[in-house]
Amino acid sequence: ADITKRGQLIWNWLDLTIVVTGATDMWLIPILLLLEDGMGFEVTRKLLQHASFFFRMLRLLRILRLLKLVKAVLPLYNLAMGILRACQSVFWVLVFTLVTLYAYSILMTHLIGHGLITSMRGHSPDDGAQALFSSVTASMYQLFKVMNGDLNDLEVIMADSMLMRVLVGIFLITAHWGLLAILTAVVSDNIITVTQEQSREEEE
């Protein structure tokens, strides 16, 4: 009950802030600007204009009232709470994903960007392929696209090299299947946990 009252008090203060800032922006500031025009204080006029902009930004807090809608719809509330609970685990999964991308990017930069694959096979380097993997950051971008199923830029390279097909296949298994599946599982597990807890509270 105390938590409910505290939450309602927060919403009341939010509503009061929105009403006061709206009234100030609509009535008080125009009146002050009108009075200021007769006095000729340019600095005061700029301050009032900045204050008006600030109050209009505060009025955007009305968007937060959508959170009430989230709590009113139980499945939506369970989904939101599950995602919030999963944030810490999702963060570490994303860190692990970034480390994986970085490791593969270093490998691809050396193999393709520096022409190691073509030099081993005695072929001239492919400028287009080297441009795609010219640096670690460029390689990370290309591998991120591969992680999301975009293989268009790598089809020519994979057609000419069995090693590239193997490396891209291993990366897809690791990142696309493995890490994304882990990310989905973490969020799903937390949503299921929240739903079960909500069901127990309703039964009690």
Cβ atoms of 139 and 130 within 8 Å: the answer is: no
What whole-number percentage of the chain has pLDDT above 90? 0
Of 146, 151, 134, nearest to 174 (Cα)?
146
Residue 170 confidence class, pLDDT cut points 50, 70, 90: confident
Q: Mean pLDDT over residues 5-22, rounded?
A: 72
Distance, CA of 155 to CA of 164 (rounded, Å): 10
Q: What is the mean pLDDT of residues 196-201?
A: 76
